[in-house]
Chains A and B, each alone.
Chain A
């Protein structure tokens, strides 16, 4: 499959074996590690931006009544909080890890299409500028209603919104182009750039996870683009896609959105599952349990994930047949995900475990994500969802899925690979403090929301009846603690980048067990060009 690779490059620039200098190194980069670093920094910035919005949301909800923001601004914050966390934090962080690790894992010199790689990244800041402008234009008089629609952007409400919606639509377009290009690059790299002997079935699980993630994105992002394009036309060019008077149907947008939106949650989940597939064997000192079934069931999840979207729309009035189909399809997702969870547990079983920070996160993820999964299955049950839908029960479900399932997985990845990236060991003690602090405060924030939801509190409301006050106060206090813990996270990262104990090429003695992942054969930090001589996998 793969050609022989000699000295990395013909051109003179690369021959000094050092990175180019100055701003060009970053703006013009064609290096997968530099681009990966930029992705990760961008994600970190977005974490704080989206998190600051979450803090405002929780502060507003700390007490009943209107305290900090007005209703439209509140819902605009909710919209942007979600979009920033999903498109700004999780996807870029996962893409950053893919950029850093995939070429090293499979023994490639770089990504398949390095210039396009850089373009995928730089589209993100551009999209972020548009997204933030869509929030800010409301302070200019005459720009119409703020984007008070939630991240789902349902019409006809989104047709009423002013200028902010158009900026948001184009931000979504840029995000879509960015994701598609990044995915094309990653999938191509995986298919085409493996070192000799690195067969598909030898690839580390993280690579497989990103393979399916990339395929998902290539399929779903264009559909979202199509949906928001129709929205743009309804808003400005007189079409009637979402207006019954002209023969349209607002519900169509929901189908298009969720055809994107549901697979999107697996886009967020799978990279983290991939990280767990690295971390758990390492610290159990034992090969991954059932590698092949994991790969096949990931493929199963990929396929099933694409055809169950309407479980977000049980209340729109679908026929009995359609509802039943979507319900059963959704419940069946517990099979592939359940297999993943149990294979991770069986990897730990009869292992020889130690509990460094990444492993602590991994174990917590297994427990908390399973919890999110079982509440997900509760939501999948149509008659019950007719009660849960659009309440805080759903908010609780998806933060349990998103934060442990996606964000904590990325934290585990950060701690696991920081020594490789920076060449320094992070401070293990601080790492453990960070783990306990986040895990406890996370649960304090979101566990009570299950109850406020069951008690009848709808989501996306700025003001609530006093009967819900206790739950909301606990939740807000938890959220502030959770938010503060991220300052520690930042501190740990900066400290590790700046210095600390030198990391060996393979800082974890259990790493590389059972996988031929090549990343650990390079020094920490790795040289600017990963594999100047082609590695050979037997």
Chain B
């Protein structure tokens, strides 16, 4: 329980500028790398190292402050609201990809196939028939031929079950935290992490299979493009989420949280549930329909 009775304003901190430096070298590096400028990769590595250092430093400070009870209820509320708005912005990031998928499937591809308002476009792509998943492209010259689209059964279905279960185990852990039962809390956290890692492993396996055997690559036309963009960014979020879960599990083990003061736990839980919900959307719109 926090004892501070005023809003905590941190002292001047080096972390923001370190964060900016790390980000700057990372993105600069990527920009150079994709253009085959040979210093690119080094810049990325440098940037990532700075970012890693940053995470330990910045979160370290925050944890210290939290543990020395500098945060009062109002600070806690700021963190919660901040997290809420951050997740809102993430929702819109994914919305841009979902909307694109919708746009291709229901608006632009029918045009190329000869239907709808710009159906005249078909005369440029004679012989093209529109169906989803798009196996035969309007002009496949520069693209990889897709052999077989991704089905909804098998790994994707298991992954859905896995992620949904992880949501349940995480909620269980939270419940245990509030009840003060450390054993159940730790078990819940380990299960959640294990499920997250399993999801990731299955996803990696699926990608490999898709690349090697199914001809499903980033380069196999709009089906591959949307597939990898959506599942890829989701996978990235799973990875980040899993790392955050590991961090808070360590903190659980160290008894950092009390039953009514554990924002970090809740923030991560929200994030994980968000990742979960995105997956449901993916499962329905990318794999299933």
A residues within 8 Å of B by Cβ?
2-11, 13-14, 20, 24-25, 27-30, 108-110, 112-116, 118-119, 122-123, 126, 129-130, 143, 162-163, 166-167, 169-170, 173-174, 177, 180, 183-185, 187-189, 191-193, 218-223, 225-227, 229-230, 232-233, 235-241, 244-249, 251-252, 255-256, 259, 317-319, 529
Q: Is the CB of B109 within 8 A of A174?
A: no
Q: Is the CB of B93 within 8 A of A223?
A: yes
Query: Which chain B residues border A184 with CB–CB below 8 Å?
Result: 82, 85-86, 89
Q: Is the CB of A118 within 8 A of B6?
A: no
Q: Is the CB of B92 within 8 A of A174?
A: no
Smallest CB-CB A-B distances: 8 pairs? A226-B96, A247-B222, A238-B219, A28-B12, A119-B16, A222-B93, A239-B225, A249-B108
Query: Which chain B residues border A319 with CB–CB below 8 Å?
Result: 116-117
Which B-chain residue is minimally distant from A163 (CB atoms)? B35
Jot down 6 A-B pairs with beta carbons below 8 A, ordered by A. A5-B6, A109-B7, A130-B28, A170-B30, A180-B86, A239-B224
Q: Is the CB of A188 within 8 A of B10?
A: no
Contacts known (A192-B74, A219-B92); A230 close to B100, Cβ less than 8 A? yes
Contacts known (A113-B82, A123-B20, A166-B35); A233 close to B108, Cβ less than 8 A? no
Q: Is the CB of A193 within 8 A of B82?
A: no
Query: Which chain A residues border B82 with CB–CB below 8 Å?
Result: 112-113, 116, 184-185, 188
In the bound complex, CA of A184 to CA of B88 (Å):
10
Q: Is the CB of B112 within 8 A of A244?
A: yes
Chain B interface category by residue count: 35 or more
Partner of B23, one of A7, A113, A177: A177
A114 CB to nearest chain B CB (Å): 6
In the bound complex, CA of A161 to CA of B250 (Å):
47
Contacts known (A119-B20, A236-B34, A317-B117); A170 close to B28, Cβ less than 8 A? yes
B29 CB to nearest chain A CB (Å): 10
B255 part of interface (Cβ distance < 8 Å): no
In the bound complex, CA of A112 to CA of B125 (Å):
56
In the bound complex, CA of A252 to CA of B222 (Å):
12
> Beyond the given A245-B140, A248-B104, could you list 13 further A-B residue pairs with CB under 8 A, ordered by the A residue number?
A3-B6, A6-B5, A163-B35, A166-B34, A180-B89, A219-B89, A235-B34, A245-B143, A246-B221, A247-B109, A249-B107, A259-B96, A529-B9
B27 part of interface (Cβ distance < 8 Å): yes
Partner of B12, one of A10, A30, A174, A177: A30
Q: Is the CB of A119 within 8 A of B104?
A: no
B226 CB to nearest chain A CB (Å): 8
In B5-33, which residues have CB < 8 Å from any A CB? 5-17, 19-21, 23-24, 27-28, 30-32
A518 CB to nearest chain B CB (Å): 16
In the bound complex, CA of A123 to CA of B24 (Å):
8
Which B-chain residue is minimally distant from A6 (CB atoms)? B6
Q: Is the CB of A247 within 8 A of B112?
A: yes
B residues within 8 Å of A by Cβ?
4-17, 19-21, 23-24, 27-28, 30-32, 34-35, 37, 58, 70, 72-74, 77-79, 81-82, 85-86, 88-90, 92-93, 95-97, 99-100, 103-104, 107-109, 111-112, 116-118, 121, 124-125, 134, 137-143, 217-219, 221-226, 228-229
Q: Is the CB of B12 within 8 A of A25?
A: yes
A160 CB to nearest chain B CB (Å): 14
Query: Which chain A residues border B8 with CB–CB below 8 Å?
Result: 9-10
Partner of B229, one of A130, A167, A239: A239
Q: Is the CB of A174 within 8 A of B24?
A: yes
Q: Is the CB of B16 within 8 A of A115?
A: yes
Partner of B31, one of A7, A112, A169: A169
Q: Is the CB of B16 within 8 A of A122?
A: yes
Q: Is the CB of A247 within 8 A of B104?
A: yes
Query: Which chain A residues border B90 with CB–CB below 8 Å?
Result: 222
B137 CB to nearest chain A CB (Å): 5
Q: Is the CB of A118 within 8 A of B31?
A: no
In the bound complex, CA of A319 to CA of B117 (Å):
6
Query: Which chain A residues border B27 with CB–CB below 8 Å?
Result: 130, 170, 173-174
Contacts known (A118-B17, A170-B30, A317-B118); A246 close to B138, Cβ less than 8 A? yes
Partner of B13, one of A118, A192, A256: A118
B28 CB to nearest chain A CB (Å): 7
Q: Is the CB of A14 within 8 A of B9?
A: yes
Q: Is the CB of B218 within 8 A of A239?
A: yes
A155 CB to nearest chain B CB (Å): 13
Which B-chain residue is minimally distant from A180 (CB atoms)? B89
In the bound complex, CA of A229 to CA of B229 (Å):
9
A37 CB to nearest chain B CB (Å): 15
In the bound complex, CA of A249 to CA of B116 (Å):
15
Partner of A174, one of B23, B96, B224: B23
Q: Is the CB of A218 within 8 A of B117?
A: no
In the bound complex, CA of A278 to CA of B135 (Å):
60
Q: Is the CB of A192 within 8 A of B85?
A: no
A221 CB to nearest chain B CB (Å): 7
Q: Is the CB of A126 within 8 A of B100?
A: no
Question: Which of B13, B16, B99, B112 counts the most chain A CB atoms within 10 A?
Answer: B16
Query: Which chain A residues border B109 with CB–CB below 8 Å?
Result: 247
Q: Is the CB of A246 within 8 A of B86?
A: no
Query: Which chain A residues border B99 with CB–CB below 8 Å?
Result: 255-256
Question: Which of B90, B104, B134 counts the most chain A CB atoms within 10 A?
Answer: B104
